[in-house]
Chain A
């Protein structure tokens, strides 16, 4: 199985400041045939199901604010919130869909400092 490791496990950021979450896969998830990274990002707020933020590592879903951005390729990926807002408090997960079983990172909890 591909192991997804996120860092840090939690972070506290002041309102308006940048939050950066890292995700590392144990194997390359860049598929050479289409030159796409098989990596998704989700946001989960308390008591809610996860919400898809990005597919293909950095393709933002409709309705996701542009303060959120995804980057990276191969085995190393980053989710950045450029200016943290109160409504961004959540747990964020990365997930690979390069090969089954699809696997998730352990999650990163983002809080307000």
Chain B
């Protein structure tokens, strides 16, 4: 059974860089896409972006170029960096797998299962 666990600093000051790692157990990083999703306290869900096991990425433009994702297949980990954080970046950050559904000609992804338990990152001076 695939399980995901987020790790990283939980308290940041404004302008610092958020850095989180998601470690996968019970499965392999390949051949999937892997996403980061966040949820401000008491609010809804926002997709941050995904990374493919090959290293290709797709980020949400709403984060205005502050996001970088990376993958380490040897460690079964993928990571998120978000720079120049503000209080608006305070949220529970989840990592999740993007399942893939393939037909004879194409593959499709973009929904999320399973999810990590999430980690609350607080930005405060």
Interface residues, chain A, CB within 8 Å of chain B? 31, 33-34, 36, 38, 40, 42, 48-52, 55-56, 61, 93, 95, 97-98, 100-107
Kindly list chain B residues whose C-beta atoms are within 8 Å of the C-beta of A100. 58, 60, 110
Q: Does B46 contact A (CB under 8 A)?
A: yes
> With A49-B118, A104-B45, A104-B47 known to touch, is A38 a contact of B113 (CB < 8 Å)?
no
Task: Name the distance in Å between A40's Cβ and chain B's nearest Cβ.
Answer: 4
Task: Name the distance in Å between A20's Cβ and chain B's nearest Cβ.
Answer: 20
Q: Does B112 contact A (CB under 8 A)?
A: yes
Q: B111 touching A40 by the CB < 8 A rule?
A: yes
> With A34-B103, A50-B115, A55-B99 known to touch, is A97 a contact of B44 (CB < 8 Å)?
no
Kindly list chain B residues whose C-beta atoms are within 8 Å of the C-beta of A93. 44-45
Count of CB-CB pairs between chains A and B under 8 Å = 63
> With A34-B103, A55-B99, A101-B60 known to touch, is A50 a contact of B110 (CB < 8 Å)?
no
Interface residues, chain B, CB within 8 Å of chain A? 35, 44-47, 58, 60-62, 94, 96, 99, 101, 103, 106, 108-118
> With A49-B117, A55-B99 known to touch, is A104 a contact of B44 (CB < 8 Å)?
yes
Q: A106 touching B44 by the CB < 8 A rule?
A: yes
Task: Name the distance in Å between B40's Cβ and chain A's nearest Cβ.
Answer: 12
Q: A104 touching B111 by the CB < 8 A rule?
A: no
Top 10 closest pairs, chain A to chain B, by CB: A97-B110, A49-B115, A52-B113, A40-B111, A101-B60, A104-B45, A102-B47, A106-B44, A55-B111, A107-B44
Give CA–CA (A36, B110) in the complex, Å.
Answer: 13
Task: Name the distance in Å between B38's Cβ and chain A's nearest Cβ.
Answer: 11
Of listed B58, B112, B115, residue having the most chain A CB within 10 A = B112
15 contacts between A and B (CB under 8 A): A34-B103, A40-B111, A48-B117, A49-B96, A49-B116, A51-B115, A61-B113, A93-B45, A97-B108, A97-B111, A98-B110, A100-B58, A100-B60, A104-B47, A107-B45
